[in-house]
Amino acid sequence: MTLYSFFTRCCIIFFCTVTLAYANNASQNINNLASHSVWKQLLHTEQTAVTLNHNNSNFYLAENGFEDPLSELEATIRAFSQTPKRQCQFPARKRFIEKHIPSISFPDVACPKYQEYLNTFSTHSASLIFASGYLGNPASMFGHVFLKFNGESADGLLDNTFSYGAKVPDNENKLVYITKGILGGYQGKFSNQQYHHHHLTYSETELRDMWEYKLALSQHDIQFLLAHLWELENATMTYYFFEQNCAYQLAKLLSLVFDEPLIAPNKVWVMPFDLVVMMQRHQSSRPMFNEVIYHGSRQQTLYDRWQQLTDKEQQTLLQILKSEPEDTQAKLAALGGASAIRVIDTLYDYFAFIEQKEDDLTTIQQAQKRQAMIKRFAMAPVKPNWKSVDRRPPHEAQDTTRIGLGLYDTPSGDVAGELNFRANYYDLLTLNAGRIPYSELTTFNLRLRYLEGEGLAVKEFTPVRIINLNTSESGLPLDSNWAWKLAFGYREQANNCTHCGAGYIDSFIGKSWAFHHNLVGYAALSTSITSSNLNGGFIAVGSEVGGVAHVTSEIAMSLAVGQQWFVNQPSKDQHYLSITARYSINQRWDVRANIDNKHGTDFGLLISHYY
């Protein structure tokens, strides 16, 4: 063997060994990468499979890609190499693979549509927007979250947003809507709109407050989010109202860049509120947001400004609303310049609020508004010094799920133990930052009571209880809505009996009044329907009065007193009284004392944990 032949063979052996080692190393890298949490999230493997709305492409490149992340990764690498245009469809996958396996090199390819998309989303930061609940729509009761990509405009109205929601046919029956939404009867998708659409819907039309969480993301993180949202542009996933909803999808999306779990543990449901709470809990170890900005609804802006007016200014505004339009400027002229401007600005907010609430302004209101604007344009362009109102952000409220243990002194004189569980969301006494003031939205509330000699009994099971006192904070004309309640489920009919449960429906409609910013009272006509007539009838009607007082941030109280007569036996009636006091220990714990009188009196003490 010549020296040349020997050298050639050694080179071939060395080259094959290096190649084999490189191939083994690359194979090992691919195997490791396939189990990476971010790769699995890009494939949405923990939820229903992603489908695309057109037939010329597919979200999964391997036949079993949804179930096998390794096969999907291998198929993606092959596709990017053999069909370079595939890189344009999956830019987030490409970024991920190139970051973790830098030795892989894909062919260069131009993606003009994707580049146009990125140019549209020219952004310097991103925000998560939390919108408070809206009791006028079942899908909006628990609030909503969406992403906003912040551009250079001062007001942000032209910024682009991404929001996830169900694709619901127009004029869908609400009962059908609720049923299909819970059972997965709709497909959901991400939609892109400019921020002014959300501002009009939430702040102006539905009068919902919004909180903007400025996310602590780098430009690389933002581009990665945008890349995956591009991949989902034409994609749909099965929508589940209580689980795979807007909060779930955004939690999964943000986990791509934060690398922290953002879905609340130990729950089978996901609420928008849970997402902002989970972000707060990771703040100390991994900052997730830099600041929180409050965006008050049109109604709340009116209230804030009305309460900052002096007594004289408030009286002038009321006089203008009660007078003929031609008297408007004269009444404003009686005030000083700065004072008149404050009244005009508040009038403008009032008319904008009424225009949304009543669908339009009357001819007189339009003339009053026009006269006020004419006066304003004739004055110096001075901006009033309105004070910003400090409001607690949503993540400082109590968690949505509650479990409690209590002791009750029953009418028989015996002491009963009670287990109380509420799936979500909040009640009249909950620390409810970011939720509708003086309202309750309780779902799946269960009370199990044990009394020696009687055993275990279901004291109450209420799937849904909604109360909205609709309290006006201004007292201005037309700033008023009906107070109302709707609750249904199963409960014991009286406190002096055990195992005497019946199905029930409770409701009331009436009016409420704000006696102070933290004290509200109401009076209403009430009805109760039961499936048993233990106390005299199936249907009872009457009246109820009550109130809610937030004495301090830790102490709150509620009162409800009512009397009803049975429709089929008017000679028989029933009365009830409920007083509850809550002391908040912290965000996770509170203690409640309760007096409940309905055919016997219960005295109880309950300690609750929120999670």
| Residues 79 and 60: beta-carbon distance below 8 Å | no
Q: How confident is the model at residue 31 (pLDDT cuts 50, 70, 90)?
A: confident
Q: How does pLDDT run across 261-290, given as a tens digit for each residue?
A: 999 988 888 999 999 999 999 999 999 999
Handedness of CA 34, 37, 40, 41 (dihedral sign): negative
Question: Helix 337-357 and helix 298-308: axis angle, to 10°?
Answer: 150
Interior CA angle at 572 toward 571 and 574, to 5°?
Answer: 145
- In angstroms, rounded to a whole number, what is the distance separating the alpha carbons of residues 399 and 590? 11
What pLDDT was estimated at residue 268? 85
- In angstroms, rounded to a whole number, what is the distance separating the alpha carbons of residues 248 and 231? 18
- In angstroms, rounded to a whole number, what is the distance separating the alpha carbons of residues 587 and 396? 7
Strand 144-150 and strand 160-166: the pairing is antiparallel
Q: How does pLDDT run across 343-359, given as a tens digit for each residue?
A: 999 999 999 999 988 88
- The DSSP-derived string for 433-469 is TTS-TTEEEEEEEEEEEEETTTEEEEEEEEEEEEEE-
Backbone angles phi, psi at 148, to 5 degrees: -125, 130
Q: How does pLDDT run across 158-190, given as a tens digit for each residue?
A: 999 999 999 999 888 888 988 999 899 999 999
Mean pLDDT to the nearest integer, 72-77: 95
What pLDDT was estimated at residue 13? 43
Region label for 562, one of left (φ > 0), alpha (ψ between -120 and 50) or beta (otherwise)? beta
What pLDDT was estimated at residue 5? 54
Q: How does pLDDT run across 463-510, given as a tens digit for each residue?
A: 999 999 999 988 899 998 899 999 999 999 999 998 999 999 999 999
Classify burial at 324, counting beta carbons within 10 Å of its beta carbon; exposed 0-12, middle 13-18, buried 19 or more.
exposed
Write out 349-367 in H/E/C secondary structure: HHHHHHHHHCCCCCHHHHH
Mean pLDDT to the nearest integer, 376-382: 88
* Tokens 């019946």, residue located: 502
Backbone angles phi, psi at 96, to 5 degrees: -65, -45
Per-residue pLDDT for 569 more than 90?
no
Classify burial at 27, counting beta carbons within 10 Å of its beta carbon; exposed 0-12, middle 13-18, buried 19 or more.
exposed
Q: Which of 13-27, 243-257, 358-372 has the lowest mean pLDDT?
A: 13-27
What pLDDT was estimated at residue 11? 45
* Contacts of residue 360, Cβ cutoff 8 Å, sequence gap at least 6: none
For the stretch 104-111, contacts whose Cβ atoms lie closer than 8 Å and that sit 24 or more positions apart, written own/partner, are 104/26, 104/77, 106/80, 106/81, 107/80, 107/81, 108/84, 109/84, 109/85, 111/87
pTM, 2 dp: 0.88
What pLDDT was estimated at residue 27? 62
| Residues 68 and 87: beta-carbon distance below 8 Å | no
